[in-house]
Chain A
Amino acid sequence: DIQMTQSPSSLSASVGDRVIITCQASHDISNYLNWYQQKPGKAPKLLIYDASNLKTGVPSRFSGSGSGTHFTFTINSLQPEDIATYYCQQYDNLLYTFGQGTKLEIK
């Protein structure tokens, strides 16, 4: 089974900052990596699919990169409405795994 290591587990940043979250897979998953945003009391929403593709309608300040085992999720110019928990999710051989989540707070 693939293990996903997401870091940091929590993050405090100021409005306008660049925020970076990483996910490390235990072995090569090509680009089978997606990123979700979950606001309190709500269901998760897809932001990035296939490691670097921005879902239609998602603000361009969100981006993703990486392939193989190391992946990065970036928010350029953090906005107050970005306060949420972010999860990576991988797919490999019919199995799916979520990272442990990164809780993002505003300073």
Chain B
Amino acid sequence: QITLKESGPTVVKPTQTLTLTCSFSGFSLSTSGKGVGWIRQPPGKALEWLAIIYWDDVKSHSPSPSLKSRLSITKDTSKNQVVLTMTNVDPVDTATYYCAHLSFTVTGNWFDPWGPGTLVTVSS
């Protein structure tokens, strides 16, 4: 059974760096076809994909101009953790942040399951 859980600060001040950790079990990120992605959801708004890291250490980030240069994703295979870093946060970054297991196959890719999410508020 695959489970994931996000952890990190609940409140961050504007201009600071946000660091979130996804701790998972039930799979290894050294196994071919696996990935972990980060998705966020501002209150009352839609889901927004942020970044992903694959078993072979290939990484991809949102091309959104407001995010592109602010995101970093890394993995620690021995600890079963993935860390997302977002620099220079702003109140518009207030959201619930989810991590999710990715299945990467020849026919497609999908996020399943997801962690419960963690609400991060950016405020001074």
Could you tell me the dominant secondary structure of chain B's interface residues? Answer: strand
- A1 and B46: CB pair below 8 A? no
Judged by a CB distance under 8 angstroms, whether B98 is at the interface is: yes
Provide the B68-110 mask, 1 if CB < 8 A to any CB of A, else 0: 0000000000000000000000000000001000010001111
- B48 and A98: CB pair below 8 A? yes
Judged by a CB distance under 8 angstroms, whether B24 is at the interface is: no
Selected from B37, B98, B114, B117, the residue in CB contact (under 8 A) with A96 is: B37
Determine the chain B residues whose CB is within 8 A of the CB of A94 once the complex forms. 52, 58, 60
- B48 and A45: CB pair below 8 A? no
User: Which residue in chain B gives the minimum CB-CB distance to A46?
Assistant: B112
Shortest distance between the CB of B7 and any CB in chain A (Å): 15
Judged by a CB distance under 8 angstroms, whether B116 is at the interface is: yes
Selected from B37, B46, B112, the residue in CB contact (under 8 A) with A101 is: B46
Determine the chain B residues whose CB is within 8 A of the CB of A99 once the complex forms. 46
Determine the chain B residues whose CB is within 8 A of the CB of A100 once the complex forms. 46
User: Which residue in chain A gives the minimum CB-CB distance to B111?
Assistant: A46
Determine the chain B residues whose CB is within 8 A of the CB of A44 once the complex forms. 47, 98, 111, 114
Cα distance, A94 to B103, chains bound together (Å): 13
User: Which residue in chain B gives the minimum CB-CB distance to A51?
Assistant: B108
Selected from A1, A31, A43, A87, the residue in CB contact (under 8 A) with B108 is: A31
User: Which residue in chain A gives the minimum CB-CB distance to B51?
Assistant: A96
Judged by a CB distance under 8 angstroms, whether A49 is at the interface is: yes
Which of the listed residues B47, B62, B63, B103 has the most CB atoms from chain A within 10 Å of its own CB?
A: B47
- 14 A–B contact pairs at CB < 8 A? A31-B107, A34-B108, A36-B47, A44-B98, A46-B110, A46-B112, A49-B110, A50-B108, A91-B109, A95-B49, A95-B62, A96-B52, A96-B109, A98-B39
New A-B pairs, 7, CB < 8 Å, besides A34-B110, A46-B113, A95-B62: A32-B108, A42-B116, A43-B98, A49-B103, A95-B63, A96-B37, A101-B47
Chain B residues proximal to chain A, CB less than 8 Å: 37, 39, 46-49, 52, 58, 60, 62-63, 98, 103, 107-117
